[in-house]
């Protein structure tokens, strides 16, 4: 099968800078999470502690990124190389430096999270296993919305198939530093593609119309993730739910505010960890899980959610539970 790709012109212009992180900071755990989560695209390259990936900002501009840690866990430094199709202004360089630091969670202080772990049996294990791992964010909102929509009413294998077909049919190939990185389709590409074609080529079903509508909303100036982050959690969630096809669960996935986006699958995991039993109805127990998470972990519940899903093997051994086959 021949893939229809948008080839971005070679990114030949290089801008380099170094960033510091609030310690402790684990570069490897942050950009290559144990559960296999990618930083920006499933097709990025990680080799010899160096990550080659690609990002698009909300304006539509595309950049190649090469990231490499040069410090230690407790004195963390990250060397960053940004590849662009034209020379960057001083303002754009500062803007990109700030965006990379925000994306990697370099300025987040986890001391309160670690203090909370001292008196919480579950967090104590998580922090020991994943010390220094950060949650990460994306500079463009569209991939997060694609993720949220493709997860709806579908098993993980089916969701992965839809996302893979979207990237391989409509993604952009970026060439820089001797590498080729395939990244997510732009909203512009999806907005100009027919619903029928999206349905047929990407096996999207009803989601084709939803994603095309969302892509048009982004073209019309829907807030960026950083703009949503400046809103209250409630306002950001309400704004996301204005998008057709985005309900409460999907908004929790996309929102940059710490949330507890538990679904039927993860409800089984958290029910075992928090209540010691499998739920009769995973869907019905979700409200109780969310309430418990908020009372127990407050604003850190989003971190706990990320840590748990990236530590299932160790948690299964520590608590003598089967969390990996649910």
Same topology for domains 6-116 and 142-254, yes or no? no
Helix (H) / strand (E) containing 180: strand 179-183
C-alpha 150/C-alpha 167 separation (Å) is 13
User: Does the domain formed by 142-254 have CATH 1.10.340.30?
Assistant: yes
Instruction: Match 């990244």 to its residue by tokens.
Output: 183
Query: What are the extents of the domains in the chain?
Result: 6-116, 142-254, 264-319
Tokens of 303: 């971190």
In the chain, alpha helices (H): 27-31, 90-104, 111-117, 121-129, 142-150, 156-170, 187-191, 195-202, 207-219, 225-230, 233-240, 248-254, 264-275, 282-297, 301-309, 312-319
Give the pLDDT of residue 9: 58
Would the CA dihedral through 81, 21, 105, 59 be positive or negative? negative
**Residue range 267-287, pLDDT digits in tens:** 999 999 999 999 999 999 999
Give the pLDDT of residue 57: 81
Return the closest-CA partner of residue 84 out of 176, 201, 199: 176
Instruction: Judge residue 41's burial from the number of C-beta atoms within 10 Å of its C-beta, 0-12 exposed, 13-18 middle, 19 or more buried.
Output: buried
C-alpha 26/C-alpha 4 separation (Å) is 37
pLDDT per residue of the chain (326 residues) written in tens, 0 to 9: 334 445 555 788 899 999 999 999 999 999 999 999 999 999 999 999 999 999 988 677 889 999 999 999 999 999 999 999 999 999 999 999 999 999 999 999 999 999 999 999 999 999 999 999 999 999 899 999 999 999 888 888 899 999 999 999 999 999 999 999 999 999 999 999 999 999 999 999 999 999 999 999 999 999 999 999 999 999 999 999 999 999 998 999 999 997 898 988 899 999 999 999 999 999 999 999 999 999 999 999 999 999 999 999 999 999 999 998 87
CATH architecture of 6-116: 2-Layer Sandwich (3.30)
Give the pLDDT of residue 3: 41
Task: Dump the DSSP string for 100-157.
Answer: HHHHHTTT---HHHHHHHTT-HHHHHHHHHSTT------SSSHHHHHHHHHTTTS-HH
Number of other residues whose CB lies within 10 A of the CB of residue 171: 25
Three-class DSSP category at 13: strand
pTM: 0.91
Give the pLDDT of residue 303: 94
């Amino acid at each position: 099968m021949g893939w229809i790709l948008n080839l971005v012109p070679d990114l030949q212009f290089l801008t380099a800078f170094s960033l510091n992180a609030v310690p402790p900071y684990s570069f490897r755990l942050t950009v290559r999470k144990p559960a296999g989560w990618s930083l920006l695209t499933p097709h990025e390259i990680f080799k010899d502690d160096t990550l080659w990936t690609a990002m698009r900002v909300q304006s539509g501009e595309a950049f190649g990124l090469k990231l490499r840690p040069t410090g230690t866990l407790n004195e963390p430094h990250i060397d960053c190389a940004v590849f662009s199709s034209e020379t960057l202004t001083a303002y754009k360089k500062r803007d990109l430096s700030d965006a990379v630091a925000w994306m990697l969670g370099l300025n987040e202080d986890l001391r309160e999270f670690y203090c909370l772990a001292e008196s919480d049996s579950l967090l104590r294990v998580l922090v020991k296993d994943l010390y220094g791992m950060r949650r990460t964010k994306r500079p463009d909102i569209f991939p997060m919305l694609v993720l949220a929509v493709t997860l709806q009413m579908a098993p993980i294998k089916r969701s992965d198939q839809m996302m893979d077909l979207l990237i391989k049919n409509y993604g952009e190939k970026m060439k820089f530093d001797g590498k080729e990185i395939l990244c997510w389709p732009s909203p512009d590409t999806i907005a100009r593609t027919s619903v029928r074609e999206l349905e047929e080529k990407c096996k999207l079903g009803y989601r084709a119309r939803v994603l095309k509508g969302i892509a048009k909303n982004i073209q019309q100036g829907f807030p960026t993730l950083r703009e949503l982050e400046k809103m209250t959690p409630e306002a950001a969630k309400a704004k996301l739910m204005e998008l057709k096809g985005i309900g409460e669960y999907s908004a929790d996935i996309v929102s940059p505010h710490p949330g507890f986006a538990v679904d039927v699958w993860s409800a089984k995991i958290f029910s075992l960890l928090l209540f010691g039993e499998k739920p009769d109805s995973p869907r019905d127990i979700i409200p109780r899980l969310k309430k418990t998470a908020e009372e127990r972990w407050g604003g850190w519940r989003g971190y706990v959610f990320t840590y748990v899903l990236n530590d299932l093997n160790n948690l299964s051994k520590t608590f003598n539970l089967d969390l990996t086959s649910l």
